[in-house]
Amino acid sequence: MSSPSFASLEGAYDRLHPKVRRWIRDQGWNELREIQARAIVAALDGAGDILIAASTAAGKTEAAFLPILTAVADRTQSGFSVLYVSPLKALINDQFRRLETLCEAMEIPVVKWHGDASPSAKRKAIDKPEGVALITPESIEAMFTRRPADAKRLLAAADFIVVDEVHSFLQGPRGLHVASLLKRIDAMAPTSARRVGLSATIGDLRQAAAWLRPVDPDRVDILQAKSDAPELRLQVRGYSEPPDLDDPDHAEGVAEADEEPASDALPQRIALDYIADHLFGTLRGSNNLVFGGSRRTVESAADRLRRRCEKANVPNEFFPHHGSLSKVLREELEIRLKDGKLPTTAVCTSTLELGVDIGSVKSVAQIGAPRALASVRQRLGRTGRRAGTPAILRIYVREPYISRKSGLLDRLHMNTVRSVAIVRLLLAGFVEPAAPSPEIPSTLIHQILSVIAERGGISPKPLFDLLCGPGPFASIGTSDFAGLLRHLGSTDIRFLEQAPDGTLMLGSEGEKIVQSRSFFAVFETPEEWRLTVGGRTLGTLPISYPVNIGSLVVFAGQRWIVREIDEKTRTLLVAPHRGGVVPRFERNTFEPAHDRLIAEMKAVYEDDDVPPYLDQSGRDLLSAGRETFRDWDLDITTQVQEEADLHLFLWRGTQATAVFGAALSMAGLECEVHDLGLILPKTKGEEVNPILEKLAAMEKIDPMDVAEFVKNIGGGKFRESVPAPLARKQWADQNAPLIRTAQTMARTVLM
């Protein structure tokens, strides 16, 4: 774990291959960044794995590749010497451009290997595998299942495997997938390749080290860049929805009218209209990113901003960017941002949060209070990148209008308070650690199918040894595994079949799944409509979105009318139109908040400081929220009866609150989760207290019992093929610590 002292770094440059040194001089670089010097020493003096954690644009790629190319420069063995694994094709294309001249100077071939990369370049690499391959996890998967013999020839002899954006793999099914593929590459190789992880600044570096090398995390050399965070300028602006607005969400979906209506029928302006006014006045003329939080808000805001440009008779410089827009439209915008010739503001979801090079922007804005520090930091990394320029962040908070009918939760102004809590934790340097992934069994099923496809057949024992043990599926024991195999072989699943000698082979369903092109990714893509105008694809809408001939839709920052519907090819032909409705892209989940964020919200309620970065309206909202908090004595009061409903204030993160809610469901109480606790509809305190007492008094709550009451347990592409007992056991294992705190919570909430 030790990193060399700075004194020993001075000779780092001299350790590099002469051709690398010449390339560095040709770039006109005066010196190496500290993180690069440290990586050179770690890679060339050490023999183990390395984790490089530094902010965007800190030169991580060069930190890894300068020493790695030095180390492999004289290699003659066949097979790729370096694999670079990236979560994004676009990132591979960027990195290819950055590595091209360096590799050319070293006479080391480098090949892009993803779905859109040139087949002939890939074929050439198959004929003569050498040098560096830049590849996606799904392309590795494809190589394993479609050309296993080549997989071994190409991948097994690698000296280094570089994994970029490691933080994006620390939770979720795709991270489990990559970890499993790395393990399978190791299993083919005579000696394990050294792993080099590149990561943004993250909460728990040891977690990342454990992901990178599960068998020996303590021996991963962790190099963290000394943070040279730029000056931070921030503002939190508060906006209240107008009075008498039945449903601000509905209002957001109605695009502003094209013509000014008669003065007696002025449409109600909603908070988003005022936010758009401010964005238009503040951001015009420079490059910026506006994070909208949802595709719907992105479209709604982009439409409002474009209209302001039209009204002011100036060229539009605000464009939407999200995952449902066609690649062409997105790339046009990315190029426009990077070029920097025309002032450009992208209104985006998290699409522009990581990876892809769009240059440095002047400021970042966020519509709606953020829920995670990890993404706020990542977004801030897009601004203030040139020396001497500050990082600018504006948060636009929307709060409901308060009338006499308003409820307690509305009056607490949680969004404003959460924004203040976010800023406090941002300044304190807090970042959420990775949460456990519920998709472990589903992803294991994927890998079982993949290994069998790769090898034709395999016995249960070697299959277990290959996939399980330390690594992504460590929580699956031998009996779980045996149960899973039996389930997958059952007549209603038919993923597997077993030969008389015990060899596992693909069953009829398993065969179909593996043959399909969509097998390579461990995540699902829902069915969608394709929107086209004059043969050009604008993007996609969920198939669940109701459309008719004549439907109006705001999409890609413009307004359209649906002219034709082709059910067979799932295509909508649209034409420009003046009216529009902003579509819903649907999904009924919400981004979880961490324990510490909610605890900080409580601290914000209890304090009486007036943060200087709040505008006047934000200050008013904060102070009104605090007043409500004090009026109800919420520092000590945990139960509040509000008409027929009972509030339980828990002040815990989303996951702990949800687990407590599941424990209550077990006891027969239905409830809804929100940031500060639970709502029990049509419930009285006297009904709840005996149940809480019982929970608090129980010697031990068995997590398996609670698991019975969890809705949508597990997750992942193959969740429906996970045996129910295994799904419950996994949930119980992952949530056992929270079940223990649920008893403490029951005691706290008792009145």
Of 39 and 182, CB closest to DNA: 182
Of 102 and 648, CB closest to DNA: 648
Coil, helix or strand at residue 697: helix
Residue-by-residue DSSP string for 147-197: -HHHHHHHHTT-SEEEESSGGGGSSSHHHHHHHHHHHHHHHHSSSPPEEEE
Contact 276, 318 (CB under 8 A): no
Of the residues 58, 90, 392, 562, which one makes contact with DNA according to CB under 7 A: 90
Of 144 and 464, CB closest to DNA: 144
Instruction: Name the minimum Å distance from CB 578 to DNA.
Output: 25
- Residue 660 identity: F
Of the residues 350, 475, 638, 639, which one makes contact with DNA according to CB under 7 A: 350
Instruction: Name the minimum Å distance from CB 299 to DNA.
Output: 10
> What is the C-alpha separation between 49 and 427, in angstroms, rounded?
31
Of 130 and 454, CB closest to DNA: 454
Determine if 115 is a binding residue for DNA (CB under 7 A): yes
Determine if 142 is a binding residue for DNA (CB under 7 A): yes
HEC-encoded secondary structure of 354-368: CCCCCCCECEEEEEC
Of the residues 23, 585, 651, 660, which one makes contact with DNA according to CB under 7 A: 585
> What is the C-alpha separation between 701 and 21, in angstroms, rounded?
63
Instruction: Name the minimum Å distance from CB 431 to DNA.
Output: 15
Question: Restricting to residues 221-260, which ones interact with DNA according to CB under 7 A?
Answer: 249
Of 222 and 598, CB closest to DNA: 598
Determine if 675 is a binding residue for DNA (CB under 7 A): yes
Write down the residue that tokens 């859109």 correspond to.
116
Coil, helix or strand at residue 314: coil
Q: Which residues fall within 8 angstroms of residue 464, CB to CB, at 6 or more apart?
A: 478, 481
Phi, psi of 204 (to 5 degrees): -130, 100
Binding window for DNA (CB under 7 A); candidates: 8-16, 44-52, 83-91, 641-649? 83-91
Of the residues 104, 116, 332, 606, which one makes contact with DNA according to CB under 7 A: 116
Determine if 588 is a binding residue for DNA (CB under 7 A): yes
- Residue 615 identity: D
Determine if 512 is a binding residue for DNA (CB under 7 A): no
Instruction: Name the minimum Å distance from CB 522 to DNA.
Output: 8
Of 384 and 716, CB closest to DNA: 716
Determine if 674 is a binding residue for DNA (CB under 7 A): yes
Of the residues 582, 673, 707, 727, which one makes contact with DNA according to CB under 7 A: 673
> What is the C-alpha separation between 350 and 348, in angstroms, rounded?
6
Contact 279, 308 (CB under 8 A): no
> What is the C-alpha separation between 432 and 598, in angstroms, rounded?
12
Of 70 and 375, CB closest to DNA: 375
Instruction: Name the minimum Å distance from CB 8 to DNA.
Output: 39
Instruction: Name the minimum Å distance from CB 620 to DNA.
Output: 22
Binding window for DNA (CB under 7 A); candidates: 73-81, 155-163, 261-269, 519-527? 519-527
Mark 265-294 with x for binding to DNA (rule: CB under 7 A) and - for no binding.
Answer: ----------------------------xx
Of the residues 146, 269, 570, 596, which one makes contact with DNA according to CB under 7 A: 146
Say how many C-beta atoms besides its own lie within 10 A of residue 699's C-beta: 5
Write down the residue that tokens 């000696």 correspond to.
191
Q: Where are the alpha helices (DSSP H) in 369-439?
A: 373-380, 408-411, 414-428
Number of residues that bind DNA (CB under 7 A): 43
Say how many C-beta atoms besides its own lie within 10 A of residue 722's C-beta: 24
Of 219 and 250, CB closest to DNA: 250
- Residue 696 identity: A
Contact 382, 354 (CB under 8 A): no
Residues at the contact surface with DNA, assessed by CB under 7 A: 87-90, 114-116, 136-139, 142, 146-147, 174, 249, 293-296, 322-324, 349-351, 517-518, 520-521, 523, 525, 585, 587-592, 672-675
